[in-house]
Amino acid sequence: MSVAQALGQGVPAGGVQFVPQSALPGGEAYEAFIRRTGQVPTRDNLHDLFNGLVWQTFPQSKSQLNCLHHEEISANGVTATRGPVRDAATLFDENGALLQAPEPLWQALLVRDWHRLFVTLRPLWQQARLTLFGHALMEQLVNPRKNITAHVLIEQFAIDKSIDLDQVLTSKLSAQRLAAKPFAPLPVLGIPGWWAANTDPIFYADSKVFRPLRQVV
């Protein structure tokens, strides 16, 4: 069974269908094809499997990202550079994550105070929830490395498992908002409980991974 067939056995993903990659006509942009046909070209690999699973979990948000791509392509065509909106939409689609967390964790994350975020405030992570959105991020975590970093949308979602994250996220994904690249880097294997090695505070002393906030002069 192909990945496209396997995904077709699951929950309907906001009206899209998963089809083999060969269904994408030569010369037509991937995002434009999805918008035109409601079909997602899918290869037989983990990358596209995770993409399909995200479509099934966040159908409204994925559709909104696709709509933004389509609007930009319609206005500017497919060029050598995507432009700020498509760049940001692609970054979030591939590598994004959503953080529901107490305010002190957000404050530490935004200034990249890694010791405070992961050591001093460690008990607060019991009240936090990180939801992965990016399918490339998920693929990387199949073979975990210390430096795998998510781009967290800077949006303080309520700490409530009952909220419809897909619906709320969709309302935040505007072209204007994304063009500003509202993301904060988060090395995900630093999160308590995500990797055994991070129980030692020395884990966070690696400045090649846990980089300080760059000072603007």
In whole angstroms, give the CA distance from residue 166 to residue 113.
29
Write phi, then psi, for 104 (nearest 5 degrees): -60, -35
What was the pLDDT predicted at 10?
55
Residue 42 · residue 51 · CB < 8 Å: yes
In whole angstroms, give the CA distance from residue 16 to residue 6.
14
Predicted TM-score (pTM) of the model is 0.92
Residue 150 · residue 95 · CB < 8 Å: yes
Per-residue pLDDT of the chain (217 residues; tens, 9 = 90+): 899 888 876 555 567 999 999 999 998 999 999 999 999 999 999 999 999 999 999 999 999 999 999 999 888 777 767 789 999 999 999 999 999 999 999 999 999 999 999 999 999 999 999 999 999 999 999 999 999 999 999 999 988 878 899 999 999 999 999 999 999 999 999 999 999 999 999 999 999 999 998 865 5
In whole angstroms, give the CA distance from residue 55 to residue 62.
6
**H helices present in 80-185, as ranges:** 84-95, 103-110, 114-115, 135-140, 165-172, 175-179
If you search the block for the tokens 């970093």, which residue do you land on? 149
